[in-house]
């Protein structure tokens, strides 16, 4: 059984791929062989090599729906990428393709369609990306995380399965986090997540509320690698030293730190990426979501408001992420246990614990 994996080179695409791979391995054993085809982004090779999955790269032209001179250059990359994909698939000759979307997936899905290799795609967001809309026309099956994305695809192909959450961040331990960060049990914990790269606008807003917030709470702050030193410097200007006074700043939270922090926190401030939302939902935590203004297809804002409409989160636009507004939302959730609990319960409806297994079964069924 040979399966080709493909998708955009972000953690949001790669981690669900790995979650499904592990489920397939559990079901099939060493019979299953995998190959990842991507655009050459270093994170792709880093993640796949940890799982001992070989990687091959193709030319991938980004599909922009606005004027850019880069569109003319990228236009020629797509047919070249299709030719490269035809050669890679001819040599590996997979039984199925599993695609997470993103512009790098388009050439490989086109090549698979030419060879009549069945394709299953997964759309994480409430608004389908352009690449997945194209690939969905060529795919045999389409797995969705949000009901609102169904309108972009042929309903006969669609199944609502949710977003796979990596098992390595489940079963967090609250006591382990409190001990690791030298936190007290008498103050609630806020977890701040800006994605693996961090988010400067969230970092700035959080640092500004530190003097008032730390009187009542403790904060674990994932800053992103490139923003880490800047956050430390700005916090110091407010008289806050990271690692003391209930404030922990880290450039990146590994799986162990993340799952324990999620278990320990009473509230999460986060971007509105589909994976982040699914991980917060798995722990049934209330959330303040700050959608990325420049996200493709505006998918983060659509994700956030889909959840807000059922009372599963507060949404703050980047333009409204001022010191007073953020502090007001934080205090409202911490002071109203009933509201916080209700919000966490409603958000949990976006967590599908068997999403990885359902997708794995779908891929295996296409082959057998």
For residues 153 and 145, what is the distance between their CA atoms, to the nearest angstrom? Answer: 13
DSSP 80-121: HHHHHHHHHHHHH--SEEEE--STTHHHHHHHHHHHT--EEE
Phi, psi of 68 (to 5 degrees): -160, 135
In terms of domains, do 158 and 20 share one?
yes
Could you give the number of structural domains in the chain?
A: 2
> What's the pLDDT at 269?
97
For residues 324 and 322, what is the distance between their CA atoms, to the nearest angstrom? Answer: 6
For residues 198 and 195, what is the distance between their CA atoms, to the nearest angstrom? Answer: 5
In terms of domains, do 342 and 357 share one?
no
Residue 221 three-state SS: strand
Q: Is the pLDDT of residue 363 over 90?
A: yes
The average confidence (pLDDT) of the chain is 92
Q: Which of 34-38, 101-105, 257-261, 293-297 has the lowest mean pLDDT?
A: 293-297
In terms of domains, do 202 and 256 share one?
yes
> What's the pLDDT at 215?
94
For residues 157 and 368, what is the distance between their CA atoms, to the nearest angstrom? Answer: 18
> What's the pLDDT at 103?
85
What's the pLDDT tens digit per position in 310-321? Answer: 999 999 998 888
Burial class (CB in 10 A: 0-12, 13-18, 19+), 73: exposed
Whole-number Cα distances in Å, 177 to 103, 121, 191, 207, 272: 38, 36, 11, 21, 24
What's the pLDDT tens digit per position in 101-151? Answer: 888 899 999 999 999 999 999 999 999 988 999 999 999 999 999 999 999
In terms of domains, do 54 and 183 share one?
no
DSSP bridge partners of 99: 6, 121
In terms of domains, do 193 and 113 share one?
no
Parent domain of 172 = 168-350
Query: pLDDT confidence of 288, banded at 50, 70, 90?
Result: very high
> What's the pLDDT at 144?
97
Query: pLDDT confidence of 267, banded at 50, 70, 90?
Result: very high
> What's the pLDDT at 102?
86
- For residue 179, give both structure tokens: 């001990």
Phi, psi of 353 (to 5 degrees): -60, -20
Query: pLDDT confidence of 48, banded at 50, 70, 90?
Result: very high
Residue 177 three-state SS: helix
> What's the pLDDT at 34?
98
> What's the pLDDT at 9?
66
In terms of domains, do 89 and 140 share one?
yes
In terms of domains, do 357 and 339 share one?
no
DSSP strand pairing (267-270 vs 189-193): parallel
What's the pLDDT tens digit per position in 66-92? Answer: 666 666 677 778 899 999 999 999 999
For residues 29 and 26, what is the distance between their CA atoms, to the nearest angstrom? Answer: 6
For residues 9 and 229, what is the distance between their CA atoms, to the nearest angstrom? Answer: 26
Q: In percent, how much of the chain has pLDDT > 90?
A: 76
Query: pLDDT confidence of 63, banded at 50, 70, 90?
Result: low
Q: What is the distance between the terminal CA atoms of the chain, rounded to a whole angstrom? A: 9
> What's the pLDDT at 328?
95
Q: Is the pLDDT of residue 211 over 60?
A: yes
Residues 6+ apart with CB under 8 A from 164: 15, 16, 19, 20, 122, 278, 355, 356, 359
Which CATH number does the domain housing residue 282 bear? Answer: 3.40.50.2000
In terms of domains, do 178 and 87 share one?
no
Total number of residues shown for the chain:
368
> What's the pLDDT at 72?
67
Whole-number Cα distances in Å, 348 to 171, 290, 302, 312: 15, 18, 18, 8
In terms of domains, do 360 and 213 share one?
no
> What's the pLDDT at 65?
58
> What's the pLDDT at 172?
97
In terms of domains, do 159 and 236 share one?
no
More confident residue, 55 or 31: 55
Q: Is the pLDDT of residue 158 over 90?
A: yes
DSSP code, position 124: -
Residue 74 three-state SS: helix
Is pTM beyond 0.75? Reply is yes
For residues 150 and 1, what is the distance between their CA atoms, to the nearest angstrom? Answer: 30
For residues 146 and 14, what is the distance between their CA atoms, to the nearest angstrom? Answer: 19
In terms of domains, do 14 and 67 share one?
yes
In terms of domains, do 323 and 182 share one?
yes
Q: In percent, how much of the chain has pLDDT > 70?
A: 94
């Amino acid at each position: 059984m040979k399966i080709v994996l493909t998708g955009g080179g972000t953690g949001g695409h790669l981690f669900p791929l790995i979650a499904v791979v592990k489920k397939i391995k559990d079901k099939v054993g060493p019979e299953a062989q995998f190959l990842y085809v991507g655009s050459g982004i270093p994170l792709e090779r880093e993640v796949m090599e940890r799982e001992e999955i070989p990687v091959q790269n193709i030319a991938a032209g980004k599909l922009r729906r606005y004027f850019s001179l880069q569109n003319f250059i990228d236009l020629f990359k797509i047919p070249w990428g299709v030719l490269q994909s035809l050669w890679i698939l001819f040599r590996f000759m997979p039984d199925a393709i599993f695609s997470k979307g993103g512009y790098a997936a388009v050439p490989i899905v086109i090549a698979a369609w030419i060879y009549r290799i069945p394709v299953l795609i997964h759309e994480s967001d409430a608004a389908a990306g352009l690449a997945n809309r194209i690939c969905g026309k060529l795919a045999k099956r389409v797995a969705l995380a949000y009901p609102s994305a169904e309108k972009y695809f042929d309903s006969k192909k669609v199944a609502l399965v949710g977003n796979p959450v990596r098992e390595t961040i489940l079963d967090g331990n609250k006591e382990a986090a409190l001990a690791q960060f030298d936190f007290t049990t008498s103050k609630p914990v806020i977890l701040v997540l800006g994605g693996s790269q961090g988010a400067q606008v969230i970092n700035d807003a959080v640092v500004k509320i530190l003097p008032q917030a730390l009187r009542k709470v403790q904060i674990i702050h994932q800053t992103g690698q490139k923003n880490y030193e800047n956050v430390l410097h700005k916090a110091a200007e407010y008289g806050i030293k990271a690692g003391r006074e209930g404030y922990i700043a880290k450039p990146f939270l590994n799986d162990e730190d993340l799952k324990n922090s999620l278990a320990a926190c009473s509230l999460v401030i986060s971007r509105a990426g589909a994976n982040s939302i699914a991980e917060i939902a798995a722990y049934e935590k209330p959330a303040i979501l700050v959608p990325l203004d420049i996200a493709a297809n505006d998918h983060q804002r659509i994700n956030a408001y889909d959840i807000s409409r059922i009372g599963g989160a507060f949404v703050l636009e980047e333009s409204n992420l001022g010191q007073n507004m953020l502090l007001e939302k934080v205090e409202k959730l911490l002071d109203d246990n009933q509201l916080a609990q209700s919000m966490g319960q409603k958000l949990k409806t976006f967590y599908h614990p068997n999403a990885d297994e359902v997708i794995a079964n779908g891929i295996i069924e296409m082959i057998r």
